[in-house]
C-alpha cells in the first residue's frame, strides 16, 4: 500500500517522527535478515553487497528503533521499476546526499507504524558507515560514549531529526578515521574476486 503524505503539512512531520532511543534489541538482527531476504528477491543480481549498518547492529548500544541497511549496486543500473515495486510495498523514497535513492518503511501520515527501515542504495564503495560500525563493535567503550552523546542530543533535538544527525557528525567522522587507520581498505572491493554480499565482524 502506497503512503500518501500530500495532506500532511511539512511543519507537522517533526511532531509525527521525533527522535526515539531504545536499548539494544536482539530482534533487530532478525528484522534485518527478513528485510535482506526481501531486498534480494526485489534487486536480485543487482546487489553487489548488502550490510546492516547503524547503531541497531551494535550489541549493547542505545539506538533509534530503525534498521539501517546499506545496499550497494553497480553503477548505471536503472532503478525505476524497482522503485515502483518498493512504493507498492509501502516504502517511501528520499534522495539524501550520499545515496542514489533511499527507501524508507514504517512512516505513515499518522506517525510511526511497524518496524522502521532505512535502505540506503549506493554504488559500491569504501563507505565510512561500515568502518564506524566495525569500530563500535570492536571498542564497546567508544560505543558507550557514543550512546551518552546520543542521549544528550536527543534532549536538545527530539523534534529535529536532521539537526540531531548533524550534531553527531564530528564524533562519527573522528572514529571513522580511527577505524580506517586500524583496518585500512577493509571494504575496498575487487569486483573480479568479490563474493561478499555481506560483511560483518564477529563480536
In the chain, the number of structural domains is: 1
Residue 202 maps to a domain: no
pLDDT at 199 (0 to 100): 55
pTM: 0.91
Helices marked H in the chain — which ranges? 13-16, 27-43, 80-88, 128-138, 140-157, 161-167, 169-182
For residue 145, give its domain range: 10-182
Q: CB within 8 A of 168, min separation 6: which ones?
A: 146, 149, 150, 153
Mean pLDDT calculated for residue range 18-36: 97
Residue 203 maps to a domain: no
Q: What is the CATH number of the domain that holds 169?
A: 3.30.460.10
Residue 187 maps to a domain: no
Is 182 in contact with 135 (CB distance < 8 Å)? Answer: yes
Mean pLDDT calculated for residue range 2-8: 78
pLDDT band at 9 (very low <50, low <70, confident <90, very high): confident
Residue 191 maps to a domain: no
Helix (H) or strand (E) holding 69: strand 66-73
Residue 194 maps to a domain: no
pLDDT tens profile 165-200: 999 999 999 999 999 999 999 998 765 554 445 554
pLDDT at 8 (0 to 100): 80
DSSP structure class, residue 45: G
Residue 146 maps to a domain: yes
Mean pLDDT calculated for residue range 82-93: 95
Side-by-side strand order, sheet with 47-53: 47-53, 66-73, 111-123, 101-108, 92-94
pLDDT tens profile 36-64: 999 999 999 999 999 999 999 999 999 99
Nearest to 68 by CA among 21, 2, 115: 115
Q: Is the pLDDT reported for residue 157 higher than 60?
A: yes
Residue 195 maps to a domain: no
Residue 4 maps to a domain: no
Amino acid at each position: 500500500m502506497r503512503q500518501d503524505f500530500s495532506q500532511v503539512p511539512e511543519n507537522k512531520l517533526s511532531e509525527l517522527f521525533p527522535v526515539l532511543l531504545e536499548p539494544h534489541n536482539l530482534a533487530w538482527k532478525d528484522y534485518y535478515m527478513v528485510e535482506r531476504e526481501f531486498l534480494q528477491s526485489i534487486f536480485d543480481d543487482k546487489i553487489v553487497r548488502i550490510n546492516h549498518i547503524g547503531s541497531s547492529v551494535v550489541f549493547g548500544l542505545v539506538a533509534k528503533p530503525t534498521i539501517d541497511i546499506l545496499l550497494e549496486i553497480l553503477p548505471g543500473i536503472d532503478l525505476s521499476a524497482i522503485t515502483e515495486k518498493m512504493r507498492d510495498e509501502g516504502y517511501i523514497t528520499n534522495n539524501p546526499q550520499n545515496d542514489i535513492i533511499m527507501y524508507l518503511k514504517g512512516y505513515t501520515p499518522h506517525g510511526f507504524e511497524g518496524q522502521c527501515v532505512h535502505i540506503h542504495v549506493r554504488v559500491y564503495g569504501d563507505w565510512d558507515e561500515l568502518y564506524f560500525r566495525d569500530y563500535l563493535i570492536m571498542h564497546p567503550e567508544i560505543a558507550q560514549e557514543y550512546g551518552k552523546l546520543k542521549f544528550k542530543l536527543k534532549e536538545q533535538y527530539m523534534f529535529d531529526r536532521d539537526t540531531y544527525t548533524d550534531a553527531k557528525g564530528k564524533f562519527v567522522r573522528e572514529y571513522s578515521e580511527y577505524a580506517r587507520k586500524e583496518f585500512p581498505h577493509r571494504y575496498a572491493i575487487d569486483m573480479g574476486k568479490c563474493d561478499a554480499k555481506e560483511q560483518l565482524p564477529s563480536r
